[in-house]
């Protein structure tokens, strides 16, 4: 048993290690681990850093080259280059978080809908625990909810500080009258609703301390394809706003973030969240800095220099950024996104502002160290480029982790049902071209329930892992023994765990007697396993394409039926669809 367990750990490529990559308690530890242990992360970060650094350095260099006419102009150009790099870093910090929100929405939607399919249209009783674990890991969603079509909450996870709780059924609410539910009701499947960034209210009162929130919603469908309800996430935007401030630590001015109407969301001076209070309606840039506000409407990024001061900014469309790149997420069609205001014109402006008095002092100071200022610009460009490069590399790493988690079983490391269906479709298309059959073996573990009941679920998980290792090793040996004899070369065999104690084996272009021997070997080796004097056996049903079905799901269903025939025949049996059963005994 111990030897097979060690083989299991070597043979199976489990996704848990990928999940652990994103769970570091501190960003510096995670960054150090990625830099020293992950070659792909280093390569990606280096390429992005070079690109950003070259662009920002060229921009700064060109700017300095054109201001040699006077000392004051040169210093102003250096100051502008510095603030541009900082605004770029602010934009990268915001877009990194929007990218993670997009990935989280799609991941949770896929998780919930796959549970419905696996449980015949009924929600898996442990889905709430899975959502709570996700909330505890991410720590950025104040609420994660599933809301039924009628507008009644079916599931709600409250972050509750850093100890997420599952809200009791009798405390779930009817939210059908809320603005975001009215907007969500107009969505088609695949659409994503993005609310404006505002403060959370309770019965019309703004909660204290302020809780900046964005609500993201997307429709859910049931296994029959009909509208089930909506997945709604309340994203706590405080960390995003803090990141905007932190990215401006090296700025000579004040960090700022404004919404599309010019109200401050981040500010060291003007009052924030003016649109949420009746007595703060004039606390916006159009009223306090009218010429700056009018000038920045002309473009989506750049710098505005007026007699009010220097404003360096980049505009971000959160709807577009949450929507973009979704096509890269395996298995999803690119969704459409809708915003709560101004269509896709819902914008944020991030940047820095240096008032006129401070600007005059900065550019008017005497200095003879031109090379020093040039070197400082390069350092700032490098810092901004490094921050942006690491942000993009980490986002890409997180996306790859989610893609793997979506297609592999977390316990055994084997492909899951979704990966199985995609593989069967591909093999059957190839079979139609080559004329070679595809064999499907449905394996059910007999007696596994007793292990769970008597030894506990931890022992059951260990047993499933060892069984998966036996299957994986047998398939590798089969592939090595039969590959040279196949002409043209076929695709590799595959084993998948599709639920509980059920496994499916796919053999493209099965190799006659070797294929039958493979299943005999599996039944014997599984029968020989034991855990604290508890044993199991295997019932196997086999079907082939095109003999037993014209589509992949028909063949899989026929193999499933044959498996049940094997169980009815006394278990520890192999039954060919439409044929006779074969009882397998352990080798002497």
- As a three-state string, the secondary structure of 104-138 is HHHHHHHHHHHHHHHCCCCCCCCHHHHHHHHHHHH
318 lies in the same domain as 466: no
343 lies in the same domain as 438: no
Nearest Cα to Cα of residue 257 among 244, 246, 269, 247: 244
Say how many C-beta atoms besides its own lie within 10 A of residue 200's C-beta. Answer: 15
Q: Give the residue carrying structure tokens 């007696």.
A: 447
The pLDDT of residue 179: 85
345 lies in the same domain as 418: no
Over 80: is that where the pLDDT of 174 sits? yes
Mean pLDDT of 170-176: 91
The pLDDT of residue 121: 53
In 298-369, alpha helices (H): 318-323, 356-364
Reported confidence tier of residue 410, pLDDT bands at 50, 70, 90 = confident
The pLDDT of residue 368: 55
Whether 89 is covered by a domain: the verdict is no
Residue, of 342 and 583, whose pLDDT is higher:
583
317 lies in the same domain as 443: no
In 139-212, alpha helices (H): 179-184
The pLDDT of residue 122: 56
Whether 325 is covered by a domain: the verdict is yes
pLDDT digits (tens, 9 = 90+) for 78-122: 899 999 999 999 999 999 999 999 999 999 999 888 887 766 555
Q: Domain range spanning residue 485? A: 410-583
Distance CA 75, CA 85 (A): 16
Pick from 331, 353, 375: which residue ends a domain? 353
Provide, rounded to the nearest whole percent, the portion of the chain with pLDDT above 70: 81
- Please tell me the pTM assigned to this model: 0.49
Reported confidence tier of residue 32, pLDDT bands at 50, 70, 90 = low
The pLDDT of residue 21: 40
Instruction: Please state which of the ranges 36-40, 309-313, 342-346 shows the lowest mean pLDDT.
Output: 342-346
417 lies in the same domain as 325: no
Pick from 335, 353, 371: which residue ends a domain? 353
pLDDT digits (tens, 9 = 90+) for 42-78: 777 777 778 777 887 777 666 555 544 467 788 888 8
Distance CA 452, CA 458 (A): 8
Distance CA 345, CA 338 (A): 10
Reported confidence tier of residue 148, pLDDT bands at 50, 70, 90 = very high
Task: Indicate the pairing of strand 301-306 with strand 309-316.
Answer: antiparallel
Structural domains of the chain, count:
2
Instruction: Please state which of the ranges 145-159, 367-381, 489-503 shows the lowest mean pLDDT.
Output: 367-381
Nearest Cα to Cα of residue 462 among 454, 475, 472, 452: 452
Distance CA 555, CA 548 (A): 6
CATH number of the structural domain spanning residue 299 = 3.30.450.20
446 lies in the same domain as 343: no
Over 80: is that where the pLDDT of 2 sits? no
The pLDDT of residue 533: 85
Distance CA 539, CA 562 (A): 9
450 lies in the same domain as 552: yes
349 lies in the same domain as 464: no
CATH number of the structural domain spanning residue 416 = 3.30.70.270
Q: Give the residue carrying structure tokens 């093999």.
A: 427
Whether 25 is covered by a domain: the verdict is no
Residue, of 66 and 570, whose pLDDT is higher:
570
Beta partners for 499?
502
Instruction: Please state which of the ranges 123-127, 230-234, 551-555, 568-572 shows the lowest mean pLDDT.
Output: 123-127
The pLDDT of residue 484: 63
Pick from 324, 353, 382: which residue ends a domain? 353
Question: Half-sphere exposure of 345 toward its Cβ, with a 13 Å CA cutoff?
Answer: 6
Whether 136 is covered by a domain: the verdict is yes
Instruction: Please state which of the ranges 175-179, 256-260, 344-348, 478-482 shows the lowest mean pLDDT.
Output: 344-348
The pLDDT of residue 323: 73
Mean pLDDT, all residues of the chain = 81
Say how many C-beta atoms besides its own lie within 10 A of residue 556's C-beta. Answer: 24
Question: Half-sphere exposure of 450 toward its Cβ, with a 13 Å CA cutoff?
Answer: 11
CB 444 within 8 A of CB 538: yes
Whether 145 is covered by a domain: the verdict is yes
Whether 425 is covered by a domain: the verdict is yes
CB 175 within 8 A of CB 153: yes
333 lies in the same domain as 441: no
Whether 58 is covered by a domain: the verdict is no
**What angle, rounded to 10 degrees, do the helices at 2-11 and 457-482 form?**
70
Reported confidence tier of residue 25, pLDDT bands at 50, 70, 90 = very low
Whether 506 is covered by a domain: the verdict is yes
């Amino acid at each position: 048993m111990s030897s097979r367990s060690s083989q299991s750990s070597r043979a199976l490529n489990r996704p848990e290690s990928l999940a652990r990559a994103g769970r570091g308690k501190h960003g510096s530890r995670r960054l150090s681990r990625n830099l020293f242990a992950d070659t792909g992360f280093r390569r990606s970060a280096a390429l992005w850093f070079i690109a950003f650094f070259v662009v920002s350095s060229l921009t700064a260099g060109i700017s300095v080259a054109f201001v040699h006419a006077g000392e004051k102009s040169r210093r102003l150009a250096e100051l502008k280059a510095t603030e541009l790099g900082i605004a770029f870093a602010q934009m990268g910090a915001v877009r990194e978080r929007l990218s993670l929100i997009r990935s989280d929405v799609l991941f949770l939607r896929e998780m919930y809908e796959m549970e419905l399919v696996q449980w015949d249209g009924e929600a898996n009783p442990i889905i709430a625990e899975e959502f709570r674990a996700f909330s505890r890991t991410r720590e950025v969603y104040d609420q994660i909810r599933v809301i039924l079509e009628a507008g009644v909450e079916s599931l709600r996870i409250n972050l509750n500080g850093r100890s997420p709780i599952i809200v009791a059924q009798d405390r779930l609410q009817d939210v059908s009258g809320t603005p975001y539910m009215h907007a969500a009701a107009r969505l088609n499947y695949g659409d994503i609703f993005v609310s404006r960034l505002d403060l959370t209210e309770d019965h019309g009162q703004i909660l204290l301390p302020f809780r900046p929130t964005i609500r993201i919603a997307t429709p859910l469908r049931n296994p029959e394809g009909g509208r089930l309800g909506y997945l709604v996430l309340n994203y706590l935007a405080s960390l995003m706003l803090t990141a905007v401030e932190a990215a401006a630590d090296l700025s000579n001015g004040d960090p700022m973030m404004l919404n599309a109407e010019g109200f401050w969301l981040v500010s060291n001076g003007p009052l924030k969240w003016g649109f949420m209070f009746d007595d703060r309606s004039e606390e916006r840039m159009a009223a306090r800095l009218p010429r700056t506000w009018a000038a920045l409407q002309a473009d989506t990024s750049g710098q505005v220099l007026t007699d009010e001061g220097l404003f360096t900014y980049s505009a971000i469309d959160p709807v577009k950024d949450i929507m973009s790149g979704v096509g890269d997420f395996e298995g999803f069609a690119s969704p459409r996104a809708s915003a709560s205001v101004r269509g896709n014109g819902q914008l944020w402006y991030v940047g820095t502002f240096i008032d006129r008095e401070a600007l005059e002092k900065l550019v008017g100071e005497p200095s003879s160290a031109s090379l020093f200022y040039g070197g400082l610009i390069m350092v700032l460009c490098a810092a901004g480029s490094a921050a942006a490069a690491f942000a993009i590399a980490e986002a890409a790493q997180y996306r790859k982790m989610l893609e793997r988690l979506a297609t592999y079983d977390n316990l055994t490391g084997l492909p899951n049902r979704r990966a199985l269906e995609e593989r069967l479709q591909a093999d059957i298309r190839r079979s139609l071209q080559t004329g070679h059959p595809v064999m499907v073996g449905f394996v059910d573990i007999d007696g596994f329930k007793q292990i769970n009941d008597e030894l506990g679920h931890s022992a059951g998980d260990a047993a499933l892992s060892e069984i998966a290792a036996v299957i994986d090793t047998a398939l590798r040996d089969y592939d090595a023994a039969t590959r040279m004899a196949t002409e043209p070369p076929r695709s590799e065999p595959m084993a998948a765990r599709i639920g509980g104690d059920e496994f499916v084996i796919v053999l493209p272009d099965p190799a006659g007697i070797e294929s039958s021997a493979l299943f005999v070997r599996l039944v014997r080796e599984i029968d020989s396993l034991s855990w604290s004097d508890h044993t199991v056996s295997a019932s196997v049903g086999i079907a082939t394409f095109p003999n037993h079905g014209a589509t992949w799901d028909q063949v899989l269903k026929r193999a499933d039926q044959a498996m049940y025939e094997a169980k009815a025949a006394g278990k520890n049996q192999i039954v060919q669809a439409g044929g006779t059963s074969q009882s397998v005994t352990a080798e002497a």
